[in-house]
Every structure is written in structure tokens, then in C-alpha cells.
Amino acid sequence: MTDKTLNRLRPHEITKLSKQVGRHSDGGSLYLVVRSPGRAAWVFRFRDGATVRSKGLGALPDVTLAMARKKRADELASHADEPEKPKSAGKTFTKVADEYFDHHTEIGAAQITRNRALLRLYAGPLMKRPVNRITRHEVADVLRPIWRGSSNSRGIKLRALIERILDSADNERNAATWGRLQNLLPARTKKIKKSVPVASLPWRQLPALFAELTATDEGPGLTAARVLRFLILTSVRLKEGRGAQWSEIDHDKRGEDGERKGAIWTIPAERMKIKDEGDFEVPLSAEALALLREMADAGVDRENDGFIFPGRWSHRCIGRNAIHLALNRLQGDGDPRWVDEKGSKITAHGFRSTMATWAQEQRGVDGARLFDQETIDGALAHFVGGVTGAYQRSQHLEARRKLAGAWGVFAGTSRS
């Protein structure tokens, strides 16, 4: 087993993960299993011939991450002298994939359908192969036709999906890890490709639209209107905004060195568009915090599994359709009222472009730009990868906070 598949979890993450229902892998078949928020236990999964067995190693907080790793190592050592047994009992990739999807219903039926389609369209040569016989060259062969190198291409998604499925089979050497494939595939590009333009509101009209959203104080569209305001103020994508949870909000976050970061919303990596860049910190403006207080005063902090913007169904955040419907209501009857410069109806995603355009045009008294492009890209989570990206994330947080504050003030200033 390669080092990259071990010790995936970090001690400071455990408290947050213990509130997220599901199974969180530390690699090496060690999992933190959370059956309900606050009820978490360590489980070691191993093969006994053709059977996959689970052994409990203790519950949090009695057993820490370090203790669980030590117990896993002891279990492995106790089986060191046993005869080697075939991995996965010759299960095919199709069988293991089906079991993976059956055990991960939390990702949603729609996403499972998309994942199955991705495998069906591009991973055909692997489907009937026993998972313990799949080689990295075979994985590379199915990836090459769709490998474009960009950080969100189908090839990137397929590789990550194959890695997760093979990892669930507990093979010692996962053939789909990037570390084993990087010499067989073209290097990934450093920069994110420019997004396809979407219909966005001209920034001078933004305060008037924001005022109409704020005036929505009752009815079925109230939560959706608040989500739209939250999207505008934070410049995040729709998926990231509507799925926000109270546990992700820290009103006085401090860095590892104790330095105060202020009010921060930390979006988990798994909800970000580009997941391999890690968790994303969003500085919250005074206007965004006021909106959160509105939701808290409405009592939603005690409902619906911690979602800030709950949906109609329990255990769900507000749906996309409700938000799109709220945006359509603003258009009124007849010709649309809120359009881009080409006359197309605006979109929720377009508010990100509206903020970026506004920020690019802000000037000081000396004519210099108030916000540089790196800060704007950072606010949109358009970071480059590697060390440079990590540097940008840490160094531009305060600059992004100033940008968020100025944007919040502008959005909340109603213009006649």
C-alpha cells in the first residue's frame, strides 16, 4: 500500500467529521463511521478469504485517531503470518462498483446515475475485469480518450471515481491513484480554463435587484430569495450556497498560529467544484452575517439536519428549482425585467460574474485598481493548483475579506 493511501485524515478534522453522517476513510481500510451526528466509531475492514469483515476499534472520543491507527497496525501484525488470501475473491469491477453505489446513497440518486453513465460510456474495458487484476496501464488506457488535463474534465472525474471504487475493494495497490498514473498521462494544466459566459446582471443594477430580494418577507419564495442574497454576497456557486450548514460557520475563527481570521464560512472540499484543492474559506461580510441572523431568528438553526437553507423535505437543503423559480418571479409577467447586456435573462451563476466585473472597475482616488485579479479569482475559488494555489489561499484571505465587505455594502445600497 502506498503512503498516499494512508493517513488521509487530520486530527483537527475529526471533530467536524464526527458530525457528518457517513463513512470517512483514513486509508488502509480504517474508517471513521458516523451513524448520527456525534455518534462516531473507528472500524477496521479486512478480508477473511472471500468475506469482508469489520472489526470495531472503539468510539470517539475515547479512541483518538492516533490510537485507532495503532490498533489497525496491531491487527495487521496479528495476521502477518497467515497464508495470503486472494483479494476481493475475484469480484469484477462491475460488481464492486454496484456495491460501492449501494453503500454510498448519501451522494444522491442523480449523482449515482451520472457516475454509472460515466463508467458505462468510458470504462467499458474494466467492467468485467477482476478488480485485483486491474493494472494502472489498463486504467490509463480508458482515461486517455477523454483526458483533457483541465481540473474539472470528464477524465479527472472518471479517474477519481475509479480510484474510489477500487479503494472500496481494499486492494493493497490501487491502480487509479494519480501517483501511479501521472507518468502515463499528460500533466494536468495549471490554470482553470475560462468558463463559458453565462447571462449576468450589469453590476450597476445589482443594488436594485438585491433590494427586491430583501423586500421578500413571506410566502413560499422567502427562503429561496434569501439564498439568492447569500449567493450574491458570498459569490459562491449555487450548489455550494444552497447546501450551507450551520456547523460550517465560525464567527471568530482563528488560524493554527492563533491569529484571528474573523467570521469565516468553511465549505468542505467534497461540496466544492474542484474537490482536490481542499476546504474553501469564505470571509463573511456584515451583510452576510445579518442574513444568517435572519435565518437563525426564523428557527432554522434547529431544523433539517443543520442546513441553513432547508428544503421542503426533511434531511434536504433547498432545491435548485425553488431558487430558479424565485429568480423567475422577479422577472414578472411579459418581457423579462432583469437581463444581461445582450438581452438574455440573468442566471444565479451570473452573479459571480457581476461581482467580478464590479471589482475590476473599482478605482481609488489615484486611479489604481482597489482589488487585484488574484484577489478576485480567490473570491471565486479560481485558484491555480500546487504550491502557488496554497499560497494564494492563505495570503489573500484578508484581501478577500475587504473585497467581500465592499461588495456587501454596494449590494445593500438601494439605487433608485
- Count other Cβ atoms within 10 Å, centred on residue 183: 9
Which of 9, 7, 391, 384 shows the shortest CA–CA distance to 191?
384
Distance of CA 283 to the CA centre of its chain: 17
pLDDT at 197 over 50: yes
pLDDT of residue 383: 61
pLDDT at 278 over 80: no
pLDDT of residue 3: 44
Q: Which residues contact residue 102 at a Cβ distance below 8 angstroms, ignoring those fewer than 6 apart?
A: none
pLDDT of residue 414: 64
pLDDT at 244 over 70: yes
Distance CA 409, CA 125 (A): 55
CATH class of the structural domain 89-181: mainly alpha
pLDDT of 47-90, one tens digit each?
655 556 778 888 888 888 889 888 888 777 665 444 344 445 57
Is residue 196 very low, low, confident or very high in pLDDT (cuts 50, 70, 90)?
low
pLDDT of residue 52: 67
Q: Which CATH superfamily is domain 3-85 in?
A: Integrase, DNA-binding domain (3.30.160.390)
pLDDT of residue 90: 73
pLDDT of residue 259: 74
Task: Determine what percent of the chain is predicted with pLDDT higher than 70.
Answer: 83
pLDDT at 388 over 60: no
Distance CA 183, CA 177 (A): 11
Which of 75-84, 103-112, 116-125, 182-191 has the least mean pLDDT?
A: 75-84
What cell numbers appear for 354 in the block? 457581476
Over residues 311-337, the mean pLDDT reads 86
- Give bridge partners of residue 130 from the DSSP assignment: 92
Are the C-beta atoms of 414 and 212 separated by less than 8 Å?
no
Chain region(s) in the chain for CATH 3.30.160.390? 3-85
* Element of type H or E holding 260: strand 260-267
pLDDT at 180 over 50: yes
DSSP H helical segments within 79-191, as ranges? 93-103, 109-122, 136-143, 154-168, 178-181
pLDDT at 387 over 50: no
Which of 166, 184, 235 shows the shortest CA–CA distance to 206?
235
pLDDT at 17 over 70: yes
Over residues 82-103, the mean pLDDT reads 74
Chain region(s) in the chain for CATH 1.10.150.130? 89-181
pLDDT of residue 110: 81
Distance CA 54, CA 86 (A): 17
Question: Virtual CA dihedral for 393, 394, 399, 400, nearest 10 degrees?
Answer: 40
pLDDT of residue 76: 73
Task: Determine what percent of the chain is predicted with pLDDT higher than 90.
Answer: 34
The per-residue b/e assignment along 300-334, b for 16 or more CB within 10 angstroms, e otherwise, is bbeebbbbbbbeeeeeebbeeebbeebbeebeeee
- 203-411 placed in CATH 3.30.420: no
The pTM for the full model equals: 0.54
Over residues 269-286, the mean pLDDT reads 84
